């Protein structure tokens, strides 16, 4: 929250709230979605799909308000599952979203909303832009409660192990599944580039630094300065076996791609989550004493 900005709280599934939110706006960024990590996505498919109400009503409101541009935050979950069956993946290009077979629930909503933006551009002249986010992480993100993504979850688990002295960690799946993870600063920069640029079709916005979940844990352990015993929960949600971002198109258009090293971004994320967890623990301890 920034005190110099107007901050409104609305349920954007409601069309009237969307109209109030975009009144007098030139640029509309739709970053709103009911989503979380893979555990949430796999167990809440209907809730994820109901986010279509947000994008539908925001598009309608932006068109009626005369907004100049509309940005939609899509996801790498739109990509066809058949192209993500093994950990040694070929990086996904934008055209790999079709023939369509996205992540059930969440991915289908994202792909449908992409198409809606396209047709609002074609039929109504609203300049729409789309970025397909690949696993955004960083400071000030959710790190507990069930909606957190893998980098934040791993950081939290390692910190819990370090603070408790119980040097063990549970990993969902076999740890061999692969992903790329994008630092929030790169995501913000890329989002603004895409919004202000002339390219109207969906673009990948993600790092191309591919790692396994085991390697992700290795990095966080190294940051924390300890090694943990690993327990693999093979029945837990783990998503597709491999996914990476092909950045050829964004490099061609903007001469740029997300490039913050995973180690650098994770170190900043780890420090922030550690500070949050230790300060919360101190506050609870003081409450008990008082």
> CA 42, 44, 45, 49 torsion: positive or negative?
negative
Buried b (16+ CB within 10 A) or exposed e, 29-54: bbebbbbbbbbbbbebbebbbebbbb
Name the E strands within the chain: 27-30, 69-75, 127-133, 136-137, 168-172, 178-180, 182-183, 203-205, 210-212, 229-233
- Does residue 269 contact residue 216 with C-beta atoms inside 8 Å? no
Token couple for 39: 């555990």
106, 137, 143, 270: the catalytic one is 106
Task: Determine the Cα–Cα distance for residues 160 and 277; give it in Å rounded to an integer.
Answer: 9
Of 168, 167, 189, 173, give the one whose Cα is nearest residue 242. 173
Residue 106 known to be catalytic: yes
Task: Determine the Cα–Cα distance for residues 257 and 174; give it in Å rounded to an integer.
Answer: 30
Q: Which residues are catalytic?
A: 106
């Amino acid at each position: 929250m920034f005190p110099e900005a107007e901050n409104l709280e609305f349920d954007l599934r409601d069309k009237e709230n969307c109209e109030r939110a975009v009144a007098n706006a030139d640029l509309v960024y739709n970053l709103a979605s009911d989503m979380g990590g893979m555990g949430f996505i796999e167990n809440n498919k209907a809730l994820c799909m109901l986010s279509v109400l947000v994008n539908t009503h925001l598009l309608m409101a932006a068109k009626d308000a005369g907004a100049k541009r509309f940005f939609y935050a899509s996801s790498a979950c739109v990509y066809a599952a058949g192209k993500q069956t093994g950990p040694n993946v070929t990086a996904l290009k934008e055209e790999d979203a079709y023939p369509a077979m996205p992540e059930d629930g969440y991915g289908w909503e994202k792909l449908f909303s992409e198409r809606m933006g396209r047709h609002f551009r074609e039929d109504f002249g609203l300049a729409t832009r789309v970025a397909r986010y690949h696993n955004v992480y960083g400071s000030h993100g959710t790190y507990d409660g069930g909606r957190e993504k893998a980098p934040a979850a791993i950081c939290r688990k390692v910190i819990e192990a370090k603070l408790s002295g119980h040097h063990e960690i549970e990993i969902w799946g076999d740890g061999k599944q692969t992903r790329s993870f994008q630092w929030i600063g790169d995501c913000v920069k890329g989002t603004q580039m895409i919004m202000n640029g002339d390219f109207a079709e969906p673009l990948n916005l993600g790092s191309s630094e591919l790692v396994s979940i085991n390697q992700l844990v290795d990095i966080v352990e190294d940051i924390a300065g300890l090694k943990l015993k690993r327990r693999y929960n093979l029945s837990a949600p783990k998503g597709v076996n491999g996914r990476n971002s092909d950045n050829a198109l964004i490099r061609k258009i903007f001469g740029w791609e997300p490039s913050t090293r995973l180690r650098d971004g994770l170190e900043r994320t780890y420090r922030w989550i550690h500070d949050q967890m230790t300060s919360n623990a101190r506050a609870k301890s003081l409450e008990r004493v008082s």
